[in-house]
Chain A
Amino acid sequence: MAMARDSVGVAARSTMSAEARLALLEELLRCAAPAEAAQSVADWLLAHSGADRTLFAAPDPVRGALTGIAGAGIPARQLKKFALPLDDSGHPLIRALTNGSAISFHSSRETRLGVFGDTPFTSIKVGGGGDEPAYGLLLVSPATEMPEPGVRWVAEALGRCLQNVGGVAVGFGEEDPRVRREHALLFSIINAATDPILFTNMEGQLIIANSRAEMLFTAPDDVSEGRRRAVQLNNMFFSAALSRTALGEGEAGRRELLLVDPTEGSDLLFELLSTVVSDPREGTGVVSILRNITDLRLATRQIDENYVKLRAAEAEVRAERDRLNLLIDSVADPIIVTDQEGEISLMNNPAERLFTVVVGSGEDAQRIVRANDAHFTSFVSGLLSTGWETTRRGEIALVDPNTGRLVPVEALAAKMLSDIGELTAIVTILHDRTEAIERNQLYEQLKLASEELEGKVREATGELANQNELLRRQALELEQASAAKSQFLANVSHELRTPLNAILGYAAMTLQGVSGELSAPQRRNLSRIDANARHLLTLINEILDITRIEAGRMPIQIVAFNLPELVHEVTTELEPIIAKSGLQVISKLSSDVPTLKTDRQKVKQILVNLLSNALKFTPNGSITIKAHAPAKLSVAISVIDTGIGIPKGDQVKIFEDFRQVDQTPRRAYGGTGLGLSICRRLTTMLRGTLKVESKLGHGSVFTLTLPANLRK
């Protein structure tokens, strides 16, 4: 490029316009290396300052000379040859590095430089203000006006540029700037790598390390003791790992290396990847790349753990499902789970009986199952088609495929939703309603029967009320009838007595001789009339007594009296009969018998009756009246005879109405047969008992037991 501009250099002498200057500055900004910048300036001067030749020389500390770096209008050969020893302090150009800013030379003798021949040139110092050493010298020939302000501006621009590009230590080595760039690039690439990269010799001594490796394996002087020790440890571990690699356990073997994070102190796990490289200049070394697998290992462990957990969870889910299956199967009601599409995904045994065909079953069963399935599907699809409904209840008429029996079921279907409200399944439970329906029917029947019964009861109750009313009326009628009967009997008795009174009266009068003396047969016959009339009168009196007792017209009148007195009264009353019988009547009354408080008249009537009977049925011997107190407030009165006695079988009969043991019309003993019957009734009225003990042919004992104090 410098050569190309050679010819136009002078022609554009006065073209250091502002645009050109701006272009130069832009170009300088783009320059990465100092030599490149120097070349740009040399070229620009040739094009814009009217110079023929330009050269930039800089001190090379390695060669110890001021050497040519860039030039324009000068053959490359000459540029390369340009060199002034730096220790030649007498040379004006060496001095120019430190003194002044611009020096014009008009003769080459002065400088002994063949580059410019005899053409005068100007030397301008680049950089090096104050004590700082200059970057170099910019030489421009021919020297025009001294000092050229445009050239001076250019030198300043170059100085700034060099300062920016290389800093203080600007090197203008021999190396190609591209190599230098590549080196820098390479280094930055290594540095940019996230893995520590090291180059070591075979002993493990560090030759090159990127920043991450440096952090692990190097320790600056000012760091803490802990960090230094960590670095020491890391180096030890690394060497050991490397030596194993060197021993042939894998030329490019991958191995794990545990190191310590010097800043954090935590464990770091690396995968060590080392390769032996042979470099002719540096000898054999090892390139090692460490990959941090701490997180990876952690992640692996985590994954392993998760996997174990997953397996456990899976097993648990399986067990849960088994349990659920068992549970579902143990439920007597059919349970069916359907998926979002309405397809049956799960069902328990009772459901299977309704919805699956048993192998070898007939066509009928298959038809029934299909029908059941259709019914069920239409029920569930009803729930599927509505978005808002979550449950559905309904009745389905299914048929048992095995028996053909109608199974009315109540179906309850519920949507199963996931956490995000997505439909996952529909669970349907079918409940057999047969029993419930039968129960209902039974209940209805029962209700009907109950109502019927209730009606009957009501009817019966009504009837009962009627009956009661009827009974009440009947009772009233009976009462009236009874009263009428009593009245009737009273009347009858009156009507009977009136003629009887006349019969008895006339018989007695006639027998008495009122109508004159009687012949013996007349007297006998009249006596018979009299006796029969008397018997008739007794009968009438006794019937009247019974009637009075039964009509309640014989009221109890309680009085206090002594038994011996009463017994005496009775024997006195019966004295004529006793005298006629010729029997001995003995009283044996114990002194423990208390004063009695009862109906005296009735007791007397009973005793008269008993004594009369004894007199009547005792042909010879004696009659004893005994009395004692068997308990504190009671009395027992016995009439004991030595008479004919009563056969065992007749001992009850004698207390019946119109009873005598001898029932023949021509019986030997008189009496109506009503006496004991009346005694029995009176005894009952007095709350006592009347008992008989007798032996045929040996006599009888009648015992009347009474409470001493009768209460009404």
Chain B
Amino acid sequence: MKETMATKNKNEPLVLVVDDFADAREMYGEYLKFCGFRVAEAQNGVEAIDKAKRLKPDLILMDLSMPVVDGWEATRRLKADASTKAIPVVALTGHAMAGHSESAKSAGCDVVITKPCLPHDLIKEIKKVIGAPAAKEAKAKRTSA
């Protein structure tokens, strides 16, 4: 429901954080903003697809276990849709079982990260995918220091 849009700089990459667990969603969102990203949030698969189509984010951070439409199904639909097909999806799963990451990849996820994942490590992965500009990197580093 809550839509946090970074308004100050339209050039900064937009990350759609999809998670039904608000604490995790907001934690990653806060840290991403802290690191210089724009952040949009969705709390289930349906919402995620809707926002992805409307906002066209640069990356979707997708929790897999979710009510209504889960992460696998949402990813499949996004990857099947030509308008959202190009948006990279980084999946997050609390399940350490081997089967999960495979099924997530076959659903179309570009990267699968197992929880727990510290915000700092997550940002590293995201940057690997979208190739964040050095300025933003530097800014983040500065802020953290």
- Count of chain B residues near A, Cβ 8 A: 22
Stretch at the interface among B28-36, B43-51, B74-82: B28-36
Chain B residue with the shortest CB-CB distance to A530: B118
Given the interface contacts A497-B116, A498-B115, does A505 sit within 8 Å of B97 by beta carbon?
A: no
Instruction: Please indicate the chain A residues that have their CB under 8 angstroms from the CB of B27 in the complex.
Output: 502, 505-506, 509
Instruction: Please indicate the chain B residues that have their CB under 8 angstroms from the CB of A493 in the complex.
Output: 94-96
Interface residues of A in 481-507 (CB under 8 A from B): 490, 493-495, 497-502, 504-506
A537 within 8 A of B: yes
Cβ-defined contact, B96 with A544, below 8 A: yes
How near does chain A come to B99, taking the closest CB pair, in angstroms?
Answer: 8
Given the interface contacts A502-B23, A509-B30, does A537 sit within 8 Å of B98 by beta carbon?
A: no
Instruction: Please indicate the chain B residues that have their CB under 8 angstroms from the CB of A537 in the complex.
Output: 116
B120 within 8 A of A: yes
Bound-state CA distance A502–B30 (Å) is 12
Cβ-defined contact, B65 with A494, below 8 A: yes
Cβ-defined contact, B94 with A504, below 8 A: no
- 6 smallest CB-CB distances across A and B, nearest first, come from A501-B116, A494-B94, A497-B94, A501-B115, A502-B23, A505-B27
Interface residues of B in 3-32 (CB under 8 A from A): 21, 23-24, 27-28, 30-31
Instruction: Please indicate the chain B residues that have their CB under 8 angstroms from the CB of A505 in the complex.
Output: 24, 27-28, 31, 116-119
Instruction: Please indicate the chain A residues that have their CB under 8 angstroms from the CB of B117 in the complex.
Output: 501, 505
Given the interface contacts A494-B65, A498-B21, does A504 sit within 8 Å of B96 by beta carbon?
A: no
Chain B residue with the shortest CB-CB distance to A497: B94
Instruction: Please indicate the chain B residues that have their CB under 8 angstroms from the CB of A541 in the complex.
Output: 96
A539 within 8 A of B: no
Bound-state CA distance A495–B116 (Å) is 11
**11 A-B pairs whose Cβ atoms sit less than 8 Å apart in the complex:** A490-B95, A494-B65, A497-B94, A501-B24, A501-B94, A502-B23, A502-B27, A504-B118, A509-B31, A514-B34, A514-B144
Cβ-defined contact, B119 with A509, below 8 A: yes
How near does chain B come to A472, taking the closest CB pair, in angstroms?
Answer: 28
Q: What is the number of contacts between chain A and chain B, taking CB atoms within 8 Å?
A: 63
Instruction: Please indicate the chain B residues that have their CB under 8 angstroms from the CB of A499 in the complex.
Output: 23
Cβ-defined contact, B24 with A498, below 8 A: yes
Cβ-defined contact, A512 with B95, below 8 A: no
Bound-state CA distance A513–B95 (Å) is 30
Chain B residue with the shortest CB-CB distance to A491: B95
Given the interface contacts A497-B115, A504-B116, A537-B116, does A514 sit within 8 Å of B31 by beta carbon?
A: yes
Contact with A along B104-143 (1 / 0, CB 8 A): 0000000000011111100000000000000000000001
How near does chain A come to B73, taking the closest CB pair, in angstroms?
Answer: 18
Residues of B within 8 A of A (CB): 21, 23-24, 27-28, 30-31, 34, 65, 94-98, 115-120, 143-144
Cβ-defined contact, A508 with B118, below 8 A: yes
Cβ-defined contact, A512 with B97, below 8 A: no
Instruction: Please indicate the chain A residues that have their CB under 8 angstroms from the CB of B119 in the complex.
Output: 505, 508-509, 512
Instruction: Please indicate the chain A residues that have their CB under 8 angstroms from the CB of B34 in the complex.
Output: 509, 514
Instruction: Please indicate the chain A residues that have their CB under 8 angstroms from the CB of B95 in the complex.
Output: 490, 493-494
B120: which of A494, A497, A500, A512 is its contact (CB, 8 Å)? Answer: A512
A553 within 8 A of B: yes
Interface residues of A in 529-564 (CB under 8 A from B): 537, 541, 544, 548, 553
Most buried by A among B24, B94, B116, B119: B116
How near does chain A come to B101, taking the closest CB pair, in angstroms?
Answer: 14
Bound-state CA distance A553–B65 (Å) is 21
Instruction: Please indicate the chain B residues that have their CB under 8 angstroms from the CB of A500 in the complex.
Output: 116
Instruction: Please indicate the chain B residues that have their CB under 8 angstroms from the CB of A506 in the complex.
Output: 27
Bound-state CA distance A548–B100 (Å) is 14
How near does chain A come to B98, taking the closest CB pair, in angstroms?
Answer: 7
Bound-state CA distance A553–B115 (Å) is 19
Bound-state CA distance A493–B95 (Å) is 7
Bound-state CA distance A548–B97 (Å) is 8
Chain A residue with the shortest CB-CB distance to B64: A494
Chain A residue with the shortest CB-CB distance to B145: A513
Most buried by B among A505, A513, A537: A505
Instruction: Please indicate the chain A residues that have their CB under 8 angstroms from the CB of B30 in the complex.
Output: 509, 514
How near does chain B come to A567, taking the closest CB pair, in angstroms?
Answer: 25
Interface residues of A in 163-190 (CB under 8 A from B): none
Bound-state CA distance A354–B23 (Å) is 113
How near does chain A come to B34, taking the closest CB pair, in angstroms?
Answer: 5
Bound-state CA distance A505–B97 (Å) is 22
Given the interface contacts A500-B116, A512-B144, A513-B144, does A553 sit within 8 Å of B24 by beta carbon?
A: no
Instruction: Please indicate the chain B residues that have their CB under 8 angstroms from the CB of A509 in the complex.
Output: 27, 30-31, 34, 119
How near does chain A come to B140, taking the closest CB pair, in angstroms?
Answer: 10
How near does chain A come to B45, taking the closest CB pair, in angstroms?
Answer: 17
Chain A residue with the shortest CB-CB distance to B118: A508
Chain A residue with the shortest CB-CB distance to B19: A498
How near does chain A come to B75, taking the closest CB pair, in angstroms?
Answer: 18
Cβ-defined contact, A553 with B97, below 8 A: yes
Given the interface contacts A505-B116, A508-B120, A512-B144, does A498 sit within 8 Å of B94 by beta carbon?
A: yes
Most buried by A among B115, B117, B143: B115
Chain B residue with the shortest CB-CB distance to A545: B96
Contact with B along A583-622 (1 / 0, CB 8 A): 0000000000000000000000000000000000000000
Bound-state CA distance A497–B23 (Å) is 13
Bound-state CA distance A509–B24 (Å) is 12
Instruction: Please indicate the chain A residues that have their CB under 8 angstroms from the CB of B31 in the complex.
Output: 505, 509, 514
Instruction: Please indicate the chain B residues that have their CB under 8 angstroms from the CB of A512 in the complex.
Output: 119-120, 144
Chain A residue with the shortest CB-CB distance to B122: A505
Bound-state CA distance A506–B25 (Å) is 12
How near does chain B come to A349, taking the closest CB pair, in angstroms?
Answer: 96
Bound-state CA distance A398–B5 (Å) is 124
Bound-state CA distance A497–B94 (Å) is 6
Chain B residue with the shortest CB-CB distance to A534: B116
Chain B residue with the shortest CB-CB distance to A513: B144
Bound-state CA distance A537–B121 (Å) is 16
Instruction: Please indicate the chain A residues that have their CB under 8 angstroms from the CB of B116 in the complex.
Output: 497, 500-501, 504-505, 537
Chain A residue with the shortest CB-CB distance to B22: A502
How near does chain A come to B97, taking the closest CB pair, in angstroms?
Answer: 6
